[in-house]
Amino acid sequence: MPGPTTHRQYPTTNRSVARARSDSLAFLSFCGIGREEEFAGDLVLVISELVTNAVTHGRAPGTSGRRVGMSIEKDGNVFRVEVRDTQSDAMPVLCEARIGLDGGGRGLWLVDSLADKWGVRPEGVGKTVWAEKEFGAGNVGE
């Protein structure tokens, strides 16, 4: 039986990041994980970085409207997040060389360290950046 899922569409504006955080916390709460739990903080930070990237780097020039999709799916203890944007000409890259230059280039490093795994799937238009994190795995004693 499929686990609980949520799917949202947001406009490509900075305000969408806060909405995605809020929607994510609501979904986690529905799944029995409170906002005070470390897992919730970590997963919401991952989502926040991916949605921030989608609204800043993942926007095709001249487009507007509800162009960023976010979904969260719970499969057993694994939460899978997907963030879809509409910019096909640029892809996410871990940019080590840029760290320290202008303060940017850290978001995906946070995603890389907080998520169990993440990746990118090209779509017909744009791409989906996904990340997975297992609740209750590997946090004890770290």
Residue 57 Cβ, how far from ligand ATP at the closest point, in Å?
Answer: 4
Residue found by looking up tokens 């994980």 in the block: 33
Residue from 48, 39, 121, 50 nearest 79 by CA: 39
Residues 45-104 that bind Mg ion (CB under 5 A): 53
16 binds Mg ion (CB under 5 A): no
Pinpoint the alpha helices (H) of the chain: 15-30, 38-56, 107-114
Among 74, 87, 132, 133, binds ligand ATP (CB under 6 A): 87
Query: Based on CB atoms, which residue is closest to Mg ion, 6 or 52?
Result: 52
57 binds ligand ATP (CB under 6 A): yes
Distance CA 34, CA 112 (A): 23
- The widest CA-to-CA distance across the chain, in whole angstroms, is 49
Both tokens of 112, joined, read 């890389």
Number of H helices, E strands in the chain: 3, 5
54 binds ligand ATP (CB under 6 A): yes
Both tokens of 122, joined, read 């090209």
| Contact flags string 91-130 toward ligand ATP, x per CB under 6 A | xxx-x--------xxxxx--------------------x-
Binding residues for Mg ion (CB under 5 A): 53, 107
Binding residues for ligand ATP (CB under 6 A): 49, 53-54, 57-58, 85, 87, 90-93, 95, 104-108, 129
